[in-house]
């Protein structure tokens, strides 16, 4: 049996294994909830999560593959409090310790439904990934990077030119964004009625053009001194972004960049694992400092109090805070029956994005910026809606519960919505990765798509769609210009 056929056979066995687990989970789901079965499900969820990581690795999937990194992000954003609870951290899972100062506990039926939703999503997400691995085995996985074509070389030059032209304005943009948070506090970002904390229109577009140019350049798989400068600059700006308080956005973009390095042939050895682990620990420490002081505008950054916090407590606090999205699931289940047309909130990221423009505002069809009551009334953002339902006072002060792919899929179609979205979300993204990972257009889109994918455990899954609007338009414009140029050259030659 060839290695390719052997791998397909092992994937078949894994698919069968997951189908059995799904059947078992259906049997568990129809049981009456009680304390014993809820306690079992917490440990069972942890086991399903660990198995979900081990199986792809045994199948030979690279540790920097997007699906593996997605599972790691899922573990941080969704499983943290479940693991903390299994390790004996009191009330880590069901304690509703929110910004609304609510220390109540979810009822047993809600706890039971939360855990079932978590497990079903994991099982169907794994089934989706394995389906792609089976379909793509031998078709896409061994594709080499395409040789530089004339259009790729043109895109490389265009991307680098955009990147260099807007580098200084972009750095000024980042400086002003960090300064705004330092002077006004992190919550002011959400209370701000502008789309961004930087008001200068030129600086605001420099953000888009500089990063788009950088991604265009990197998507052509360049090398040399320019390439090294580009990646050093990108890493530097990601670290600056921590100063805005956006820990999650920074980490997901770092994950996307790691995927890019994997597409270029990065292989993981013991030395790199050590370096990566040390880097992650350093970022966690930095992120905690950012979190502890961002609400105060970093006024206490010179304090020595942080040095007295044990490392174990620091790590525990980090994972506790990042795992807060599990409560969003519970709150969603609590209030699911109070919401009509829940599917509108599922597709809300797309429809709301189309309404956030001057034309829609002039037609009285737009959505207000900032966390105000009118935003909840006019938009279909489940994050805003749920936060306002749970505690309107705190929502209007800039706090929020965030969202979750599981929560929004539950609003979309109950537990069967969780199953459907869990499968389709992972299947579609991983299939795109496997098919287009060696093309410059595919890699360019992945730079935008993957951060939204990685953050989806604590965000709306349909956010992946609107983040692609601008890059798709840019690619269309580039292809159109290149086509017109070729037609002009052909017309000139025929004329001669």
C-alpha dihedral over 266, 437, 240, 369, to 10 degrees? -160
What's the whole-number mean pLDDT along residues 437-457? 94
Quote the pLDDT of residue 201.
Answer: 78
Is residue 227 in some structural domain? yes
| Total domain count, the chain | 1
Quote the pLDDT of residue 305.
Answer: 46
Residue 215 has pLDDT above 60, yes or no: yes
Mean pLDDT over all residues of the chain?
Answer: 83
Is residue 220 in some structural domain? yes
**For residue 344, with 0-12 CB atoms within 10 Å meaning exposed, 13-18 middle and 19 or more buried, which class applies?**
middle
CA distance 424 to 461: 10
Q: How does pLDDT run across 352-400, given as a tens digit for each residue?
A: 888 877 677 767 777 877 788 888 888 899 998 998 888 888 888 877 8
Residue 464 has pLDDT above 80, yes or no: yes
Is residue 106 in some structural domain? no
Closest CA to 211 of 178, 173, 180: 173
What's the whole-number mean pLDDT along residues 70-85? 90
What's the whole-number mean pLDDT along residues 250-256? 87
Quote the pLDDT of residue 183.
Answer: 67
Q: How does pLDDT run across 294-309, given as a tens digit for each residue?
A: 555 444 444 444 445 5
What's the whole-number mean pLDDT along residues 239-261? 81
Region of poorest pLDDT, from 79-83, 298-302, 398-402, 480-484: 298-302
Beta bridge partners, 327, equal none
Residue 106 has pLDDT above 90, yes or no: no
- For residue 469, what are the contacts with CB-CB under 8 A and spacing of at least 6? 353
Is residue 405 in some structural domain? no
What's the whole-number mean pLDDT along residues 174-184? 76
Rounded to two decimals, the pTM is: 0.87
Is residue 161 in some structural domain? yes
Q: Which residues of 300-320 are buried (b: 16+ CB within 10 A; e: fewer)?
A: eeeeeeeeeeeeeebebebbb
What's the whole-number mean pLDDT along residues 431-456? 93
CB 292 within 8 A of CB 306: yes
Quote the pLDDT of residue 495.
Answer: 65
Quote the pLDDT of residue 99.
Answer: 47
- pLDDT over 90 for what percent of the chain? 44
Is residue 428 in some structural domain? no
What's the whole-number mean pLDDT along residues 44-61? 94
Residue 5 has pLDDT above 50, yes or no: yes
For the chain, the maximum distance between any two Cα atoms, rounded to a whole number of angstroms, is 85
Beta bridge partners, 95, equal 105
Range of 28-37, 171-180, 303-312 with top mean pLDDT: 28-37
CB 139 within 8 A of CB 131: no
Range of 128-142, 182-196, 381-395, 434-448 with top mean pLDDT: 434-448
Q: What residue numbers bound the domain in which 261 lies?
A: 150-320+439-492
Residue 418 has pLDDT above 90, yes or no: yes
Residue 33 has pLDDT above 80, yes or no: yes
Q: What is the DSSP secondary structure assignment for residue 42, as one 8-state letter?
A: H
Say which residue, 217 or 200, is predicted with more confidence.
217
Residue 225 has pLDDT above 80, yes or no: yes
Closest CA to 257 of 447, 72, 445, 444: 447
Is residue 376 in some structural domain? no
> Band of the pLDDT at 284, cuts 50, 70, 90?
low
Is residue 364 in some structural domain? no
Residue 264 has pLDDT above 80, yes or no: yes
What's the whole-number mean pLDDT along residues 233-254? 80
Dihedral (CA of 290, 292, 298, 300) sign: negative
């Amino acid at each position: 049996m060839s290695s390719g056929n052997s791998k397909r056979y092992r994937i078949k066995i894994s698919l069968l294994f997951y189908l059995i687990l799904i059947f078992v989970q259906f049997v568990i789901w129809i049981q009456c909830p009680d304390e014993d079965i809820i306690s079992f499900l917490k440990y069972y969820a942890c086991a399903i999560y660990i198995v979900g990581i081990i199986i792809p690795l045994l199948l030979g999937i690279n540790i920097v593959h997007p699906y593996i990194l997605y599972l790691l992000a899922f573990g941080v954003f969704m499983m943290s409090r479940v693991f903390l609870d299994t390790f004996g951290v009191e009330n880590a899972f069901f304690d509703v310790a929110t910004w609304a100062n609510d220390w109540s506990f979810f009822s047993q039926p809600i706890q039971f439904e939360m855990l079932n939703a978590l497990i079903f999503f994991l099982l169907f997400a794994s089934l989706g990934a394995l389906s792609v691995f089976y379909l793509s085995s031998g078709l896409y996985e061994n594709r080499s990077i395409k040789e530089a074509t004339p259009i790729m070389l043109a895109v490389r030059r265009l991307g680098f030119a955009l990147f260099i032209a807007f580098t200084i304005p972009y750095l000024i943009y980042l400086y002003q964004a960090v300064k705004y948070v330092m002077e006004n506090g992190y919550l002011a970002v959400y209370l701000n009625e502008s789309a961004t904390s930087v008001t200068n229109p030129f600086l605001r577009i420099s953000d888009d053009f500089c990063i788009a140019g950088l991604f265009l350049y990197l998507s052509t798989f360049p090398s040399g001194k320019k390439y090294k400068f580009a990646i050093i600059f990108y890493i530097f700006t990601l670290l600056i972004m921590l100063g805005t308080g956006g820990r999650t956005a920074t980490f997901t973009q770092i994950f996307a960049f790691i995927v890019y390095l994997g597409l270029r042939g990065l292989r993981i050895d013991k030395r790199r694992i050590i370096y990566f682990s040390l880097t992650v620990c350093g970022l966690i420490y930095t992120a905690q400092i950012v979190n502890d002081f961002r609400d105060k505008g970093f006024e206490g950054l010179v304090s020595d109090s942080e040095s007295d916090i044990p490392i174990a407590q620091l790590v525990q606090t980090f994972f506790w805070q990042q795992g807060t999205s599990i409560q969003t699931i519970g709150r969603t289940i609590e209030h699911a029956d109070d919401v009509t047309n829940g599917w509108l909130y599922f597709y809300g990221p797309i429809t709301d994005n189309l309404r956030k423009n001057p034309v829609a505002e002039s037609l009285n069809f737009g959505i207000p910026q900032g966390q105000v009551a009118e935003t909840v009334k006019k938009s279909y953002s489940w994050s805003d809606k749920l936060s306002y339902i749970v505690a309107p006072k705190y929502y209007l002060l800039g706090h929020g519960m965030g969202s979750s792919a599981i929560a929004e899929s539950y609003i979309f179609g109950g537990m069967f919505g969780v199953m459907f979205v869990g499968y389709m979300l992972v299947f579609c993204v991983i299939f795109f990765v496997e098919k287009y990972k060696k093309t410059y257009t595919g890699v360019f889109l992945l730079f935008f798509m993957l951060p939204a994918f990685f953050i989806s455990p604590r965000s709306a899954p349909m956010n992946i769609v609107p983040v692609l609007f601008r890059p798709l338009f840019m690619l269309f414009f580039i292809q159109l210009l290149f086509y017109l140029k070729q037609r002009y050259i052909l017309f000139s030659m025929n004329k001669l």
